[in-house]
């Protein structure tokens, strides 16, 4: 077998990692190298991914696979054992050196490391953990580390991953257990959920208060997962129902939605076209409504339904529930204001602050928001009432062209 240069390995293994969307590094503990101690900080070319945290920070991570060799045969994955792609494998030391080298050059603030499965889940997980342990213990690396956990690995190895990583993620892969059994025969939905449960237990234990001895830190940025969208026939409602249950059962920080991209020589059971990007976008919007806007999944979309691709899910909900509008911006509580299309969380907080000392007029709301025309039918201000606008049959048509913004 030809010997690959480090650069060639990096090209192959960073390209292979691009299919994993789950690498936004939000919510870590603050850790830095001020005072000349250690290297790297969590504040914040090839193989570098720019991930956006929910607070808007852009974080650069070295995003690579340890190897794209894999003994599994997941039909939707370009790295499956039966796939005809160029293969490469980093040694543990190579990943450590690359991370430190990229960090010293100021290219990255952390590492996102995943892997195909070589030999066995334990063998691979042990190598992933060794990378993180070497960075932390030998080089005192204080940058961000996100490790992908292999659910079939021994619980002790998963525990160790959490001790060195800021975030761990276990991919649920597909929205329906039947699809996973069909398309990824070596994977087991029950095993994936069991591993997520074990991570949650370790997280809870590390945050337990009132113990004399402080428990060791465990994945302070929590756990996340990724779901592939469009590889099976799951509706948006079924996808969000699964997310809702994952958030509740395992207190995930985030579910990432990754639109399925057709891969070479794939099975006829997979679609030939990629899922439209706007579908991913609408799923993220609906997911935000569940996490930050107080919506239950069933209010947004029925289990057998898909989201409306033409308008955002909050507007779709408002148009179906016109009886709840207009909302008086000077009187309504936070929960009701959050349901107004066009009002985001920050805008609502500003409204609540400002109205303590003045009555808001339409011009005030216009200054705080990004598009007043979309808001007007749903709001009452000191100098504005929409009258019959909210009941107009053509309301959707009047608003739809402005539907590029999030909420």
Write out the residues near ligand SF4 by the rule CB under 6 A. 70, 72, 74, 77, 79-80, 116-117, 184
Rounded to whole angstroms, the Cα distance separating 262 from 354 reads 50
The CB-of-106 to ligand SF4 minimum distance in angstroms stands at: 31
Whose Cβ is closer to ligand SF4: residue 184's or residue 227's?
A: 184
Say how many residues make up the chain: 407
At 120, list the tokens.
Answer: 């066995």
Nearer to ligand SF4, 116 or 220 (CB): 116
Contact status, residue 81 vs residue 132, Cβ threshold 8 Å? no
Q: Which is nearer to ligand SF4, 151 or 313 (CB)?
A: 151
Q: Which of 76, 325 has the CB closer to ligand SF4?
A: 76
CA atoms within 13 A on the CB side of 152: 14
3-state secondary structure at position 126 = helix
Residues ≥6 apart with Cβ < 8 Å to 304: 235, 237, 238
Give min distance, CB of 116 to ligand SF4, in A: 4
Q: Whole-number minimum distance, CB 323 to ligand SF4, in Å?
A: 46
Q: Quote the least distance from Cβ 243 to ligand SF4, whole Å.
A: 19
Phi, psi for residue 117 in degrees, rounded to 5:
-100, 115
Give me the least distance between CB of 197 and ligand SF4, in Å please: 20
Closest approach of ligand SF4 to the CB of residue 171, in Å: 7
Nearer to ligand SF4, 60 or 223 (CB): 223
Which single residue is written with the structure tokens 């805008």? 347
- Residue closer to ligand SF4 by CB (options 116, 341) is 116
Instruction: Tell the smallest beta-carbon distance from residue 8 to ligand SF4 (Å).
Output: 20
E strands, 47-170, in order: 48-52, 58-65, 110-114, 144-148, 167-169
Torsion of Cα atoms, 257 then 259 then 265 then 268, to 10°: 100
d(CA 143, CA 154) in angstroms, rounded, equals 26
Helix axes 155-164 and 121-133, enclosed angle (nearest 10): 20
How far apart (Å, rounded) are the C-alpha atoms in residues 178 and 350?
A: 46
Spatial distance between the Cα atoms of 68 and 87, rounded to a whole number of angstroms: 6
> What is the closest distance, in whole angstroms, from the C-beta atom of residue 114 to ligand SF4 in the complex?
8
Nearer to ligand SF4, 72 or 293 (CB): 72
Q: Using the minimum distance from each CB to ligand SF4, give the nearer residue, 42 or 179.
A: 179
């Amino acid at each position: 077998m030809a010997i690959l240069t480090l650069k060639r390995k990096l090209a192959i293994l960073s390209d292979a990692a691009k299919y994993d969307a789950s690498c936004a590094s939000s919510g870590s503990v603050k850790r830095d190298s001020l005072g000349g101690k250690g290297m790297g900080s969590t504040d914040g070319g090839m193989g570098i991914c720019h991930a956006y945290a929910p607070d808007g920070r852009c974080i650069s991570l070295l995003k690579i696979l340890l190897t794209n060799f894999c003994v599994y045969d997941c039909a939707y994955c370009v790295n499956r054992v039966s796939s005809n792609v160029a293969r490469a494998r980093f040694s543990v030391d190579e990943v450590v050196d690359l991370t430190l080298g990229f960090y010293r050059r100021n290219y990255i603030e952390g590492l996102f490391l995943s892997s195909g499965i070589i030999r066995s889940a334990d063998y691979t997980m042990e190598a992933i953990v060794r990378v993180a342990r070497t960075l932390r213990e030998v080089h005192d690396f204080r940058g961000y580390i996100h490790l992908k956990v292999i659910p079939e690995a021994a619980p002790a190895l998963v525990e160790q991953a959490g001790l060195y990583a800021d975030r761990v993620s276990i991919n649920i892969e597909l929205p329906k257990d039947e699809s996973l059994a069909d398309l990824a025969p070596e994977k087991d939905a029950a095993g994936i959920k069991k591993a997520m449960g074990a991570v949650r237990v370790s997280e809870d234990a590390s945050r337990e208060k009132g113990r004399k001895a402080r428990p060791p830190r465990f994945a302070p940025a929590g756990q996340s997962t990724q779901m592939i969208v469009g590889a099976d026939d799951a509706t948006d409602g079924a996808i969000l129902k699964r997310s809702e249950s994952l958030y509740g059962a395992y207190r995930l920080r985030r579910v990432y939605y990754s639109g399925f991209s057709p891969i070479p020589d794939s099975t006829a059971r997979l679609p030939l076209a990629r899922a439209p990007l706007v579908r991913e976008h609408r799923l993220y919007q609906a997911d935000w409504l569940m996490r930050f806007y107080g919506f239950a999944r069933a209010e947004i979309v029925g289990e057998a339904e898909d989201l409306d691709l033409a308008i955002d899910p909050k507007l779709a909900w408002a148009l179906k529930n016109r009886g709840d509008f207009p909302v008086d911006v000077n009187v309504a509580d936070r929960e009701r204001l959050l349901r107004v299309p066009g009002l985001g969380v920050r805008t609502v907080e500003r409204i609540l602050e400002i109205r303590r000392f003045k009555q808001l007029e339409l011009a005030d709301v216009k200054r705080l928001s990004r598009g007043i025309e979309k808001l007007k039918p749903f709001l009452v201000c000191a100098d504005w009432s929409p009258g019959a606008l909210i009941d107009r049959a053509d309301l959707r048509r009047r608003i739809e062209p402005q539907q590029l913004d999030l909420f």
